[in-house]
């Protein structure tokens, strides 16, 4: 299939396969991510969706925002559901009961249903080699059930289960590096993306759909409710996440790492943290160590990524 044009003029003419009228919060990053993913291709798509903000808000009783075949899964098994659909489709095509229309298989899950509760199903689907793509919309906590910490929650963040106060100063652990964990499965394609750079995100979706086998994409999806931010700054914050290298844009294809967006000037992490109320306590007197530790971790991860990319170029 010819690669779909990503010019805004052409994209605006296409069908919106994730319709307006859903119940996601105003300014939520997740529906922006879903729209960009589905707009990137004209392939027929079947999607499964883990329980979470996206699921409960996009399919209410008889009403749905999805204009593709879509299946709600439990919190823990979106990847298993997608792998089952993919296996069934292949079997029916092989038996001659279904025409092969080059359908693509997707699973969507938030970080709670991906990093934590759904990790077993995700790891299993990737290890088995199903021809599917899993996309995590990462908003950094269990936002749908009350803003509890997840293993994607960044260091220092104030959540309802690690509240910043006299006992603890927010979350004391660094977030899990799920993108690298998925790459360690030896799958052909892993990528990290941001809705602030839609061409990068959509090109990665297009590339992934042309690759046979399991694929994984991790996409930052700001949540103004959990991040304690304005309702119109999801794109600005996701852009700052990239520019501070908190959320670098890269891909790992067949084990080779490539940085797909190199910041013109690496901004200090505080530029990303300060607009978010969940990090307000880190700027209080006496908590300078938290800012220093957070910056040091981002710097170390960015340096490591650059070395891996340089090794890929040399190889």
Residue 1 lies in a domain: no
pLDDT tens string 276-290: 999 999 999 999 999
Residue 310 lies in a domain: yes
Token pair for residue 30?
């997740």
pLDDT tens string 76-99: 999 999 999 999 999 999 999 999
The residue-averaged pLDDT of 250-276 equals: 97
DSSP secondary structure letter of residue 10: H
Separation of alpha carbons 225 and 274, rounded Å: 16
Token pair for residue 185?
């499965």
The residue-averaged pLDDT of 220-248 equals: 98
The answer on pLDDT for 257 being more than 70 is yes
* Burial class of residue 56 in the structure, from the number of CB atoms within 10 Å of its CB (0-12 exposed, 13-18 middle, 19+ buried): middle
Q: Which domain holds residue 201?
A: 8-314
The answer on pLDDT for 191 being more than 90 is yes
Is the CB of residue 3 less than 8 Å from the CB of residue 206?
yes
Long-range contacts of 94-103 (CB under 8 A, 24+ apart): 101/44, 102/1, 102/43, 102/44, 103/43, 103/44, 103/45, 103/46
Number of domains in the chain: 1
pLDDT band at 315 (very low <50, low <70, confident <90, very high): low
Phi then psi for 241, rounded to 5 degrees? -60, -35
Residue 192 lies in a domain: yes
The residue-averaged pLDDT of 134-163 equals: 98
Q: CATH number for the domain including 272?
A: 3.40.50.970
Token pair for residue 36?
């960009």
The residue-averaged pLDDT of 123-138 equals: 98
The three-state secondary structure class of 146 is coil
pLDDT band at 299 (very low <50, low <70, confident <90, very high): very high
Is the CB of residue 141 less than 8 Å from the CB of residue 154?
no
The residue-averaged pLDDT of 183-188 equals: 98
Residue 115 lies in a domain: yes
Q: 10 Å Cβ neighbour count for 271? A: 13
Q: 10 Å Cβ neighbour count for 110? A: 33
Separation of alpha carbons 245 and 204, rounded Å: 19
Which has the closest alpha carbon to 182: 219, 225, 232?
A: 219
DSSP secondary structure letter of residue 174: P
Residue 26 lies in a domain: yes
What is the per-residue DSSP string for 199-216?
Answer: HHHHHHHHHHHTS-S-EE
Residue 189 lies in a domain: yes
The answer on pLDDT for 1 being more than 90 is no
Mean pLDDT of the chain: 96
Separation of alpha carbons 130 and 80, rounded Å: 10
The answer on pLDDT for 137 being more than 60 is yes
pLDDT band at 2 (very low <50, low <70, confident <90, very high): low
Residue recorded with tokens 């990528």: 191
- In the chain, the percentage of residues whose pLDDT exceeds 90 is 93
The residue-averaged pLDDT of 161-171 equals: 96
Centroid of chain to Cα 240: 16
What is the number of helices (H) and of strands (E) in the chain? 11, 10
pTM over 0.85: yes
- In the chain, the percentage of residues whose pLDDT exceeds 70 is 99
Give the range among 7-21, 82-96, 114-128 with minimum mean pLDDT.
7-21
pLDDT band at 14 (very low <50, low <70, confident <90, very high): confident
The answer on pLDDT for 3 being more than 80 is no
């Amino acid at each position: 299939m010819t690669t779909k044009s990503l010019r805004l003029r052409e994209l605006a003419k296409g069908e919106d396969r994730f319709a307006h009228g859903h119940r996601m919060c105003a300014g939520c990053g997740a529906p922006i991510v879903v729209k960009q993913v589905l707009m990137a291709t004209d392939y027929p798509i079947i999607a499964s969706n883990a329980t979470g903000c996206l699921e409960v808000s996009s399919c209410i009783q008889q009403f749905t925002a999805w204009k593709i075949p879509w299946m709600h899964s439990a919190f823990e098994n979106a990847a298993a559901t997608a792998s089952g659909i993919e296996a069934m489709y292949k079997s029916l095509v092989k038996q001659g009961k279904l025409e092969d229309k080059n359908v693509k298989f997707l699973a969507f899950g938030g970080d709670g249903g991906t990093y934590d509760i759904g990790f077993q199903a995700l790891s299993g689907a990737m290890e088995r080699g199903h021809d599917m793509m899993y996309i995590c919309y990462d908003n950094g906590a269990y936002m749908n059930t009350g803003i509890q910490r997840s293993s994607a929650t960044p260091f220092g963040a104030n959540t309802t289960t690690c509240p910043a106060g006299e006992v603890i100063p927010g979350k004391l652990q660094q977030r899990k590096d799920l993108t690298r964990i998925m790459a360690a499965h030896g799958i052909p394609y892993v990528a990290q993306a941001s809705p602030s750079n839609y061409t990068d995100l959509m090109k990665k979706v297009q590339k992934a759909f042309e690759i046979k086998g399991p694929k994984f994409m991790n996409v930052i999806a700001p949540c103004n409710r959990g991040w304690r931010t304005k309702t119109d700054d999801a794109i600005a914050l996701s852009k700052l996440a990239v520019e501070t290298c908190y959320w670098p844009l890269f891909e790992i294809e067949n084990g080779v790492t490539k940085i797909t967006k190199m910041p013109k000037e690496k901004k200090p992490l505080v530029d990303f943290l300060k607009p978010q109320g969940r990090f307000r306590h880190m700027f209080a007197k006496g908590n300078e160590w938290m800012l220093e530790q957070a910056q040091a971790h981002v710097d170390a991860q960015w340096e490591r990524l650059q070395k891996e990319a340089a090794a890929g170029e040399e190889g």
